[in-house]
Structure 1
Amino acid sequence: MMNELIATDVGPSHLDIAYARHGNPAHPTVLLVMGLAAQLVHWPLGFVQALVGRGLQVVRFDNRDSGRSTHLRAAPPADLPAVLRGDLSSVSYTLSDMAADAAGLLDVLKIDAAHVVGASMGGAIAQTVAIEHPKRVRSLTSMMFTTGDMAVGQTHPATLQALFGGPPARTREEVVARAVRGIGIVGSPAYPANLTEVAEVAGLAYDRGYDEAAIARQAVATVASGDRTGRLHALDVPALVLHGLADTMSDPSGGRATAAAIPGAELVLIEGMGHNLPPGLWERIADHIAAVVRRGEERARLAAGA
């Protein structure tokens, strides 16, 4: 990517974090946080441009263990079944560490506070940034994820079987084919994806740093971080929770529970939306995010004048 850079010595873990900035640095900053096995390139450029067009600066980045950011290759193999049984010995890091990476990137970029937007596992990271680094967050948008309560927001069994029932994808061609097949399983039935673009992004992500073991490390980090419901109750920040009603990767009950847990949160449920950001919804979602950004900016302005 033309504007992609590497920030070094980021956060308490002193990692390299790949990032890209879009828009006017003088405008309010939206920090986009991606999910499991995803990279900054999985934020569609058209969606980024929709946010920039609403007077926002956008920063998107690779989480640790993804893309061109630091990969923890020396970490022990992640054992998800053991973690689900309560054995955390294979957990290399948690969502708190990933949230500290995000806050550390803001430090490097000299951004005091941002409007944090997370999708899928990125929603959990965004929630954790708001919980653990509240002064860095002017508004919170959590999309297509849950609170960490295992009773809500779970993946539908048929979706799990369809996505992960076969042999693992290892070659570039296999990974691209899996991405195209996967969007047909978890995508938005009312808003078709551009399969050519899905394939191109999957290939680009493979070239930037495909790491099957890292996916497992991120997965156990999410599970090991536990239920955030109680801590979400203590948030005091303008918040938007957005979820597709056709999402089978993270059941809409997770979005409802997230909005119920955050005082004053706005809940937006979209009919026909699954677990992706299809072109047909970019403008609508950007409008919702711009609205919560305005609330956050107004609140910050009033606090500064107090």
Structure 2
Amino acid sequence: MSAPPTSPWSPVRRATNGQVHLAFDRFTESPDGEPLLLATGLGANRRWIPDGLCRMLAAEGFAVARYDQRDGGESTHLPPTATTRNPLSALFAKRGEAYTAEDMADDTVAVLDALGWKSAHLLGVSLGGAVVQRVALRHPERVRTLTTMAAVPGDGAGLRSLRHVRLRTLARFGRLKFPDSPEGDIAAGVAVSRLLASPARPFDEHAARAAAERNKDRGMHDQQAQSRQIGAQWHGGPIEAIDRPTLVLHGADDPLIKPSAARAIASRVPDSRLVLLPQVGHELPESSWRRISDEVGALAGTHRGRAG
């Protein structure tokens, strides 16, 4: 019998922000280098970021870490709010009932503290992209460079964000119903992967099922937790005030967040760079890993040439 594969990740650790505990780990194959923290998307745990992409980022000279947002993965899940919503209706809410977007930005800083990193490069995907924009506004001294991918502008809310969201896809996302069981988690993972994949590529159901079986993530169909995350309101400044070197990545075929969101971010954040990824949806397919790692590595090079 062959030995089981060794995980390239350290044992899970937890950072603390008030009553919230945040699960994180580090990529062990390249522990030295420029610190890079990865922030995940709506409902998704940190394991949805492919190991292959992390390996390429490590080869670019990064020490890679990743964490679960509050209400996701192995981090603290908050109790249900007074009004149960689905993610679509949460976008229309005037205020979040559970926590603020500032709280989520402070979660990122708590993870940096637990890692012993005074500052780091940040890469956020989807909801994580909005979160890292807010970290750059709220805690600029902790951010070396900022990469936001598949995200809406971090200072948007309600109708300002809705203009960039494909509501038909979000409504389909909200209608997904699966049993609260390992089998339901797998089915949800496959269904969400299909929903968010680029329509320009054949959907690889076998690969999607294998990924979901490796990572049975209840967050894929926990609509109450997703609603709390998406309902967290930002009360800080506009993204025009971001002064960190910024890269804006977006799938050209994103079926959930329109590329107009990326264009809006790039037009408003000073000296930012926009890269649209062909045949990429709201996802991280293997075909995109090289371009992403190259771009993030090049962005880090701009930080080495400047103070701060």
TM-score range, shorter chain: 0.7 to 0.9
| Map of 2:64 onto structure 1 | 58
Alpha-carbon distance in structure 2 between the residues aligned to 1:143 and 1:167: 27
For the residue of structure 2 that corresponds to 1:118, the secondary structure is strand
- Does the C-alpha gap of structure 1 residues 261 and 131 become closer, same or farther in structure 2, counting only changes over 3 Å? same
Contact residue 124 and residue 145 of structure 1 kept, 8 A: yes
Alignment CA distance shift 1:264-1:9 (3 Å): closer
The yes-or-no answer on 1:49 pairing with 2:58 is no
Cα deviations by residue, 1:240-285 (Å, 9 ceiling, x for unpaired): 0011111111111111111112101100012221100001111111
In the alignment, structure 1 residue 246 sits paired with structure 2 residue 253: yes
1:10 counterpart SS class: strand
Classify 1:21/1:121 alpha carbon distance in 2 versus 1 (closer, same or farther; 3 Å).
same
Q: CA deviation at 1:176?
A: 1.6
Mapped pair 1:111 → 2:122: no
User: Contact 1:65–1:214 at 8 Å: present in 2 too?
Assistant: no
User: CA separation of 1:99/1:239 partners in 2, compared to 1, >3 Å: closer, same or farther?
Assistant: same
Task: Determine if the alignment matches structure 1 residue 160 to structure 2 residue 170.
Answer: yes
| Structure 2: segments with no counterpart, 5+ residues | 1-6
The CA deviation at 1:296 is 1.8
Q: Name the counterpart of 1:188.
A: 198
1:296 to 296, 300, 303: 303
Matched, 1:216 2:224: yes
SS of residue paired to 1:150: helix
Mean CA deviation greater in 19-28 or 209-218: 209-218
Structure 1 pair 204–75 and aligned structure 2 pair: CA distance change class (3 A): farther
Map residues 113-192 of structure 1 onto 2, 5 A cutoff: 113-147=119-153, 148=156, 149-157=160-168, 159-191=169-201
Matched residue type, 2:165:
Q
Deviation at 1:196, TM superposition (A): 3.5
Q: In structure 2, do the counterparts of structure 1 residues 271 and 94 end up closer, same or farther at CA, with 3 Å as the change threshold?
A: same
TM-score (norm 1): 0.86
Partner of 2:164: helix, strand, or coil? coil
Cα distance between partner residues in 2 of 1:192 and 1:227 = 41
Residues 95 and 222, structure 1, Cα contact 8 Å, conserved in 2:
no
Query: What letter is aligned with 1:29?
Result: P
| AA matched with 1:167 | K
Cα drift, residue 62 of structure 1: 1.3
SS of aligned partner of 1:129? helix
Change (3 A) 1:87 1:262: closer
Gaps of 5+ in 1: none
Measure, in 1, the Cα distance between the counterparts of 2:135 and 2:17: 13
Give RMSD over aligned pairs: 2.6
